Structure 1
Amino acid sequence: MPMNPISILRDTWFFFSRHIGTLLPLCLPWIVVETLVQRQIDVAAGSQNFAPWGMAAGLVFYPLYTASLILFLIDRGEGRERGVRELWNAALRLWPAFALLSALSSLLILVGLSLMVLPGLFIMIKMAFSEFLLVQRGHTPIDAMRESYRLTTGHFFLLLTTALAILAPVWLVEGWISQTAEDSPALGVVLHSASGFFQLMLTVAAYRIFILAPEPEA
């Protein structure tokens, strides 16, 4: 089936808007808690020391809401329905492996970003399928990363274009939030949580490409 960024973005928006009534209680509570914890760390540690501790906080909560979302995507594809609590329980069981995968991927991306940015972007795209491989196919974190690197071959620019189309507006909004919400912490939490929630569209889009993409020839 031919794919292009427009069709992927259209399908992603359709899925996201159609199921937002489930996605909000499934993912947003964890995103709000993550935002609150990161804000408290920012206040306690100071802005210069915030980045590594903020990332550590993200590694606690990111696997929970992202694994929950991926499980929901898998359920919809298989015609199965589970409630929010069941999906959370399943995500909690996946948390150790998912957190390790997130930590390893984040470390590689940070190293890449420190090397003139482009290597970090390359690694981010090549790891785009790793979370799905871990959750849906039961791969170990290392195997999921290795297999994602292989499976994204031939789909790199589709993934890159789709990711930038979703993330560029979010990054612009995040920059605006950082400047305008300094005097209103409550508003900052609301806006950052909303931004984090809509970034989940990237996971939905990547999963769409993952299930439609033909495997590269050996």
Structure 2
Amino acid sequence: MNSFDVLRDSLYFFKRNLSKIVQLCLPLVIVEALLQQVVDRSTGPDSFAGISVIVGLLVYPLYTAALILFLDARSRGESPRTRDLLAAAATLWPRFAVLTALNTLLILIGLSLYFLPGIWLMVTLAFGEYLLVLRGLAPLAAMKESLRLTRGHFIRILVCILCVMGPLWVLKGATLTVYPDPQNPVISLLIDSAHSFLQLFTSVVLFRLFMLIADAPEKSDERL
């Protein structure tokens, strides 16, 4: 399956299950955006830059793990309750937070090293979250297995990520042009929440890729 087919199928799934994804993830996305806004407004420009990452670690693992569990359940024709998904995500939070912190640290270091190493890490670590949630791997084991699974699929994964994130980056830039800083707190909260929620489509796309690649390990050398 090529990148276009993956994106098409993922968009169809996202649209078909939008109301459930909104119910499951949007409240936590808004909480995350609100916490980030409070932190940004209560700290000065010279404060510790990593505090925003720490705030993200509090909430991001919850709604992302819940979404992954939902994607897996729907792929098997099941319709789990929202509270059950969130309860399961809460039990995964410690390991997921560690994985997210490690991924973020490595990607930021890679981006600082002439950018390209960060892109490589972003792609090769892309399946770590799914391996942790769906296969119960520890953070380091999930990262190692992600490196193995993505081998031979780098271009296809990168194309899919850029096709989703590229338009979102352009949209975010256009929004900031229309509503430049300093922004009204309500408008800022709406913009940040909408941007973070739309980024969840990336998780849907990567889940589709993960299922295709993980179910066919013998084709790990296949190129786009």
Q: Please give the range of the TM-score, normalised by the shorter of the 2 chains.
A: over 0.9
Whether the 8 Å contact between 1:71 and 1:87 is mirrored in structure 2 is yes
Relative distance call for 1:10 and 1:50 in structure 2 (3 A) is farther
Partner of 2:189: 189
Equivalent of 1:90 in 79, 88, 91: 88
Q: Give the TM-score normalised by structure 1.
A: 0.95
Relative distance call for 1:181 and 1:36 in structure 2 (3 A) is farther
Report whether the alignment pairs 1:123 with 2:102: no
Whether the 8 Å contact between 1:126 and 1:148 is mirrored in structure 2 is yes
Relative distance call for 1:186 and 1:43 in structure 2 (3 A) is same
Equivalent of 1:57 in 55, 59, 72: 55
Give the C-alpha shift of residue 103 in structure 1: 0.5
Whether the 8 Å contact between 1:8 and 1:208 is mirrored in structure 2 is yes
Aligned length: 215
Give the C-alpha shift of residue 50 in structure 1: 6.3
1:86-122 deviations in whole A, cap 9, x for unaligned?
1000000000000000001111001101101110110
AA partner of residue 211 (structure 2) = I
Partner of 1:210: 210
**2: CA distance, partners of 1:48 / 1:126:** 33
Give the C-alpha shift of residue 38 in structure 1: 0.5
Relative distance call for 1:20 and 1:50 in structure 2 (3 A) is farther
Give the C-alpha shift of residue 169 in structure 1: 1.2
Mean CA deviation greater in 143-152 or 4-13: 4-13
Give the C-alpha shift of residue 172 in structure 1: 1.6
Partner of 1:109: 107
Q: 3-state SS of the aligned residue for 1:49?
A: coil
**2: CA distance, partners of 1:47 / 1:121:** 27
Partner of 1:149: 147
Relative distance call for 1:90 and 1:177 in structure 2 (3 A) is same
Equivalent of 1:81 in 68, 75, 79: 79
Specify every segment of 5 or more residues in structure 2 that has no aligned partner in the other structure, as ranges: none
AA partner of residue 129 (structure 1) = F
**2: CA distance, partners of 1:67 / 1:37:** 19
Give the C-alpha shift of residue 80 in structure 1: 2.1
Whether the 8 Å contact between 1:41 and 1:50 is mirrored in structure 2 is no
Whether the 8 Å contact between 1:181 and 1:188 is mirrored in structure 2 is no
Report whether the alignment pairs 1:12 with 2:10: yes
